[in-house]
Amino acid sequence: MKKNRIFKTISSTVLCTALLTGCSKSWLEPKPLSFLTPENAYVDADGLLTSLAAAERSMRHEYFGNGSGYTCELIFSDLCISGTTDKAGPLQDMDRQLMPDANFNNAENSYLTSHNWDENWNQIKYTNVVLSRMKDTKFVNEAEKNKVLGTGYFQRCYRYWRLINQFGDVPFIDIEVTYPRYDFNTCDRWSILRRMKKELEFAYQWVPEQVDRGHTTKSACGVLLMKVYMSLGEFDNAIRVGNEIVAKHPLMVNRFTSAKNSHPNLMFDLHSVEAKSDPANTEGILYGVSEPNNASGTGSAKTEIMANCVPMWNNNVVKTPSGKTGFAVTPDSKDVTAGIVEDVNKTYGRGIARVRPTNYFQYTIWTNKEKTTYAVGTTVIAGDAWKT
């Protein structure tokens, strides 16, 4: 038995030695065949555009979900404030709550850090990877190369547009960072704007207009370029680009969508679910695509705009002049059928008022001219006639 154990030990040692000496180090190197890596993805325009599609998808997150990034941005503007009335958690007192140690990564307070800071820097990082890898990519022709470059410029400029208008001077990074760095310095926002102007002018020239829904369009580049022009005081250039975009995307003046007969007016058409993807909608410039019926659930995100922006009427605080409840929280079905009361939750959504308009926006900046006259395309419509 002892000899057998010795023999087995010697045999195992010899076998291991043979295996180790018989294999080269290259045998241990991973050779990816069926998953994406920089080495097999960034070899052509499709691979680069696939990565940029991730940045385009991220833009959708700003407008989707409870307490979305866009509602957070509205709170920090002069247009809106937090409209929540049943709790003290939301961002209502900025002097007291807007502190470095506050938690700005939740719908109750705001998504200031996750949506408006972290996400913008993440997409700048990913876009810089694509732009830096272009030198090693093979393109069919110069137009294809410039399309990818322009699309990347748009994504990076869009993120910097958000950052410089929210935080002022920020670092400007235009290369792929491949090692830990701690030497970032802020750049003057005006110098960033001038750089954005140059890159967006290139993007507006080379990014095509006709693309699949959800991808960057020429007009999207133009709208952002127009905003940069205005920020730099180049108003004539902004008007020129704006006129070009409006010519391609005229305002809708006629009823449309398959459900137009069940809606009261054109404004309802424009904001209906059907209108968002209706090819007849000429106002669409850049789409954030969501697929509510996607079986996998990956594209089924919703804007939740009714919850974010509609008042909270479920707590019976809305009263009539006589002191009665203004809205029936759970109306009787017979009263709804008879038209006595309206099921407000079903029609307009169960609001929690993440944001509401400021008094300044509602009552100060609009004069009697804006209150009584509306311009639709080239037709001026007075009073409430636009509602019909």
Q: What's the pLDDT tens digit per position in 25-67? A: 777 777 766 676 777 778 888 888 888 888 888 887 788 878 8
Residues 124 and 202 in one domain: yes
Does residue 88 sit within a domain? yes
For residues 224 and 370, membership in a common domain is answered with: no
Distance CA 242, CA 244 (A): 5
The domain containing residue 214 runs over which residues?
40-249+284-307
366 and 302 housed in the same domain: no
Tell me whether residue 178 is in a domain. Answer: yes
pLDDT, residue 11, reads: 54
- Residues 212 and 84 placed together within one structural domain of the fold: yes
C-alpha distance from residue 149 to each of 71, 93, 135, 138, 153 (Å)? 31, 43, 11, 13, 6
Helix (H) or strand (E) holding 380: strand 379-382
156 plus 298 within the same structural domain = yes
pLDDT value of position 377: 40
Same domain? For 385 and 290 the reply is no
- In whole angstroms, give the CA distance from residue 219 to residue 283: 11
Residue 180 lies in a domain: yes
With respect to residue 26, please indicate whether it lies within any of the assigned structural domains: no
The pLDDT value given to residue 17: 53
Burial of 170 (0-12, 13-18, 19+ CB in 10 A): buried
- CA 296 to chain centroid, in Å, comes to 21
Residues 125 and 205 in one domain: yes
Instruction: Tell me if 210 is assigned to some domain.
Output: yes
Do residues 368 and 244 both lie within one domain? no
CATH at 79: 1.25.40.390
Residue-wise pLDDT for 285-340, tens only, equals 888 776 655 554 455 567 788 888 888 877 777 777 888 777 766 777 777 777 77
Does some domain include residue 332?
A: no
Q: Could you tell me if 270 and 249 are in contact, meaning their C-beta atoms sit under 8 angstroms apart? A: no
How many other C-beta atoms are found inside a 10 Å radius of the C-beta of residue 190?
12
Same domain, 241 and 377: no
Q: What is the pLDDT of residue 4?
A: 52
- Quick check: is 71 in a domain? yes
Cβ 205 vs Cβ 154: under 8 Å: no
Q: What is the pLDDT along the chain (388 residues), one digit of tens a residue?
A: 544 554 445 455 544 554 555 556 777 777 766 676 777 778 888 888 888 888 888 887 788 878 888 888 888 888 988 888 777 778 888 888 888 888 888 777 777 777 788 889 999 999 999 999 898 888 999 999 999 999 999 999 999 999 999 889 999 999 999 889 888 999 999 999 999 999 999 999 999 998 888 889 999 999 999 999 999 999 999 999 999 999 999 988 888 877 777 777 888 778 777 777 787 888 888 887 766 555 544 555 677 888 888 888 777 777 778 887 777 667 777 777 777 777 777 777 788 888 889 999 888 887 777 666 544 443 443 333 333 3
What is the per-residue pLDDT for 291?
63
Q: In a 10 Å sphere around its CB, with 0-12 CB exposed, 13-18 middle and 19+ buried, how is residue 179 labelled?
A: exposed
- Is residue 350 within 8 A of residue 315, CB to CB? The reply is no
Q: Are residues 387 and 302 in the same domain?
A: no
Residues 178 and 53 in one domain: yes
300 plus 372 within the same structural domain: no
Burial 98-135 (b: 16+ CB within 10 A, else e): eeeeeebeebebbbbbbbbbebbeebbebbbbbbbbee
- What confidence score (pLDDT) does residue 238 get? 97
- Backbone φ, ψ for residue 187 (5° rounding): -115, 150
**pLDDT score, position 247:** 94
pLDDT reported for residue 32: 65
In the chain, the number of structural domains is: 2
Please check whether residue 68 lies inside any domain of the structure: yes
